[in-house]
A and B are shown apart, each in its own frame.
Chain A
Amino acid sequence: MHIQDYWLILAFFVLVLVPAPFLGRYIFRVMEGHKTLLSPVLLPIERFCYRLAGVDSQAEQDWKGYSTALLMFTLACLIGLFAILMLQGRLGLNPEHIAGMDWPLALNTAVSFVTNTNWQAYSGEASLSYFSQMLGLGVQNFVSPAVGLAVLVVFCRGIARRSSNSIGNFWVDMTRGVLYVLLPFCLLLALFLVWQGVPQSFMAYVHAKTLLGADQSIPLGPAASQIAIKQLGTNGGGFFGVNSAHPFENPTAWSNLVEMASIILIPAALLFTFGHYVKDLRQSRALLASMLILFVAGFAVTLYAELQPNPALAALPIEQSGAFEGKESRLGIAASALWAVATTAASNGSVNAMHDSFSALGGMIPMLNMMLGEVIFGGVGAGLYGMLLFVLITVFLAGLMIGRTPEYLGKKLEAREVRLLVMTLLVMPVGVLVFGALGVSLPGPAMSISNPGAHGFSQVLYAYTSGTANNGSAFAGFGANTPYHDVMIALAMLLGRFGFILPILAIAGSLAAKKSAPQDGNSFPTHGPLFVTLLTMVILLVGGLTFLPALALGPIAEHLTLLQGF
């Protein structure tokens, strides 16, 4: 660790935590239709969108209507994007004459971007036209986090409202999320990134003769605009194949800091948005504390593991320092470890170093972060609604312990809500363990593994964890682009997205309909250190314990083998 590493870590937390309360309040005001600084510019655009769509912005939906609207919109996005990817060879804006994708890859990619996963089984500079990048993927980068945000505010309203059948209007929530929350910040971030060196151009690739006379093709494209939303919308799908390790995607230490902070910026702010909905910011701070504990613990382990020399190289006449395979010089080990933890804590999935080449334990923490269900900050909206599920489970368990009907912020949890909660608990195990077990057991799919031994198992485990958790990062040596994995990971992504969203909308609907129980002195407080401890333990036990055997077979086995010297 050098002095600049401490500055980097400090700057990261300042950039994430200082704006959070203000941005959180702003998002609350936007989503509830209050006037904000940007209203004079954006309100006419917003109204135009509703007129075009024939939407009455004052009319609210019940949870079933809201779910239907959300599903119809997702379906339209899925079909539209699938068609664009298949037909990109004929759609123009394609100076490199890139052909259409095969259907399994197009399906995988379409599902991936519609579910805010951004798993990439292709390399952008070689497989996508500018048309597909901008009008296909770029659009989903905006609307998929806005859908997550919409579901979150519905959950907040469910807790905050009393005896109400309606929970909001999907079209309004989604549109406001894009217009007021994502677009303005993306515009600023994109310009900052161009300043740092990210290309933003529609020209064809430039042909250069290198100093020694070789041919070099310099890829360009509207990269900065796409990278900005990729970071802010917890999308993670790189413009270039190697994502933010690419010097065009992440040119300097400063671009790296800002891209990294952008991953967590909105998820951290949403904690405060929640606090404004339930009119109790102590709740926000309690959840923030729990997330920070898990984040810092994971970061400490990853950083420590990455700084250790690789025992397999101990006998060689080389500098015995931390793992540098797959990492960039201008970023270094600390920035790579911090990014890896941030991108998997939030369901972003962009990378600035290759996780496949991380030390065994350094690669395990990103996996564990995803296995916990992406609740440590998590995706835009998705992280906090996942966290709130854990809160409800904690409240339920605490209720069992003290022998009272569990209640959260005045809302009683009854059989129906608990049944729905348990459903969401099954999503990660099914996606990771069942699909993952198939992936390693079937002879054909197991051919995609590129590293021998325990690490090969980790590659499959990582792929299905990333898909189900809607993260999108990878142990990228894994040959993901086979028809089998394209389709199965697409299924895992759909399961991971809608296996949470639909039960959550149902819970929100049922909570909104309840009366608020008076909070007497006997109810279990959900903002103190005791609750934070309990919640953190529940996340680790309920979320993590399921996966301990799998982790023991993968990264832990690899770590022990390396220490043994094979």
Chain B
Amino acid sequence: MMFKQIRPALSVLVFMTLLTGAVYPLTVTAIAQLAFPVQANGSLVRDAQGEVRGSQLLAQGFAGAQWFQPRPSAGDYATVASAASNLAPSNPALAKRVAEDAKRLQVAGQGAVPMQLVTTSGSGLDPHLSPAAARYQVARIAAARNMPRASLDRLIDALLETPLIGPQVVNVLALNMALAENQDLSRAE
């Protein structure tokens, strides 16, 4: 009885491999590349010269007071492989790291540091911030760039995403791209 099942076992496996392992992903790829070429190829962000500067969906590191900083990353924004801290709530290392980050980020007179700025994300590549976490950085950036806070607030408002079934977020790379362009402008003036 066992040996009679060898042929169907092997041939069904080969058939399924071709169908679900080749025909299916190739079909999806063909339709996706035609219908949604930008998303299918990684939602790449290019500068004016056409150079790839990152992906809209992947956070990148922004050290320096003059930039919006994304959430801290357990893998230092590594994309291969992505990583999380996996620190337990009871792990003293978590409290220690949060305390250090909070001390560094706290701005006098602005109240408590938003939770998102002191916690690492699940992917280490979280491209977004909550509006509160972005606004918390406005005073610092305004001082560093010598520009009015109001224009930074307006920038955040302009880039806010508000899905019906999810939290409001703003894309950090988009904010910083806008800042970079603005910087070029202010130099030109």
CB-CB under 8 A from A48, the residues of chain B are: 15
- In the complex, which residues 60-117 of chain B have their Cβ closer than 8 Å to any Cβ of chain A? 60-64, 67, 71, 77, 79-92, 94-95, 98-99, 102-103, 106, 112-116
Asked whether B5 lies within 8 Å of A69 as measured between CB atoms, the reply is yes
Q: Which of A138, A226, A247, A335 contacts B126 (CB 8 A)?
A: A247
Given known A186-B24, A247-B127, A329-B121, contact A211–B43 (CB-CB < 8 A): no
Q: Does A214 contact B (CB under 8 A)?
A: yes
Given known A72-B9, A138-B20, A211-B60, contact A217–B166 (CB-CB < 8 A): no
Docked complex Cα distance between A535 and B71 (Å): 46
Q: Does B40 contact A (CB under 8 A)?
A: yes
Asked whether B121 lies within 8 Å of A194 as measured between CB atoms, the reply is no
Asked whether A171 lies within 8 Å of B33 as measured between CB atoms, the reply is no
Query: A240 CB to closest chain B CB, in angstroms?
Result: 6
Chain B residue nearest to A205 (CB atoms) is B80
Asked whether A135 lies within 8 Å of B86 as measured between CB atoms, the reply is no
Asked whether A123 lies within 8 Å of B82 as measured between CB atoms, the reply is yes
CB-CB under 8 A from A139, the residues of chain B are: 13, 16-17, 20-21
Asked whether B54 lies within 8 Å of A210 as measured between CB atoms, the reply is yes
CB-CB under 8 A from A11, the residues of chain B are: 165
Q: Does B180 contact A (CB under 8 A)?
A: yes
Docked complex Cα distance between A247 and B7 (Å): 42
Q: Which of A76, A125, A354 contacts B9 (CB 8 A)?
A: A76
Asked whether B90 lies within 8 Å of A558 as measured between CB atoms, the reply is yes
Docked complex Cα distance between A194 and B36 (Å): 7
Q: Does A40 contact B (CB under 8 A)?
A: no
Asked whether A73 lies within 8 Å of B39 as measured between CB atoms, the reply is no
Asked whether A319 lies within 8 Å of B54 as measured between CB atoms, the reply is no
Q: Which of A54, A55, A68, A451 contacts B88 (CB 8 A)?
A: A451
CB-CB under 8 A from A54, the residues of chain B are: 7-8, 11
Q: Does B145 contact A (CB under 8 A)?
A: no
Q: Does A126 contact B (CB under 8 A)?
A: yes
Asked whether B94 lies within 8 Å of A312 as measured between CB atoms, the reply is yes
Asked whether A52 lies within 8 Å of B55 as measured between CB atoms, the reply is no
Chain B residue nearest to A229 (CB atoms) is B20
Chain A residue nearest to B170 (CB atoms) is A329
CB-CB under 8 A from A354, the residues of chain B are: 84-86, 122
Given known A198-B39, A452-B91, contact A217–B80 (CB-CB < 8 A): yes
Asked whether A455 lies within 8 Å of B91 as measured between CB atoms, the reply is yes
CB-CB under 8 A from B121, the residues of chain A are: 245, 326-329
Docked complex Cα distance between A246 and B126 (Å): 8
Interface residues on A, range: 35 or more
CB-CB under 8 A from A219, the residues of chain B are: 79-80
Give the interface segment out of A253-261, A296-304, A399-407.
A253-261
Q: Does A503 contact B (CB under 8 A)?
A: no
Query: A84 CB to closest chain B CB, in angstroms?
Result: 10
Q: Does B137 contact A (CB under 8 A)?
A: no
Q: Does A94 contact B (CB under 8 A)?
A: no
Given known A252-B163, A326-B85, contact A224–B28 (CB-CB < 8 A): yes
CB-CB under 8 A from A517, the residues of chain B are: none
Contact with A along B162-189 (1 / 0, CB 8 A): 0111110100010011001000000000
Query: B79 CB to closest chain A CB, in angstroms?
Result: 5
CB-CB under 8 A from A41, the residues of chain B are: none
CB-CB under 8 A from B165, the residues of chain A are: 4, 7-8, 11, 253-254, 257
Q: Does A195 contact B (CB under 8 A)?
A: yes
Query: A247 CB to closest chain B CB, in angstroms?
Result: 4
Docked complex Cα distance between A49 and B15 (Å): 7
Contact with B along A199-214 (1 / 0, CB 8 A): 1111101111111101
Asked whether B180 lies within 8 Å of A72 as measured between CB atoms, the reply is no
CB-CB under 8 A from B146, the residues of chain A are: none
Q: Does A118 contact B (CB under 8 A)?
A: no
A-B contact pairs, 30 of them (CB 8 A): A55-B12, A75-B9, A134-B22, A138-B21, A178-B20, A191-B32, A197-B57, A200-B33, A201-B42, A212-B62, A214-B61, A219-B80, A224-B40, A229-B20, A241-B82, A254-B166, A257-B165, A318-B102, A324-B116, A325-B89, A326-B86, A328-B128, A329-B130, A329-B133, A354-B122, A451-B87, A451-B90, A454-B90, A476-B84, A561-B90
Top 6 nearest A-B pairs (CB, nearest first) are A253-B166, A245-B122, A477-B86, A123-B81, A455-B88, A135-B21
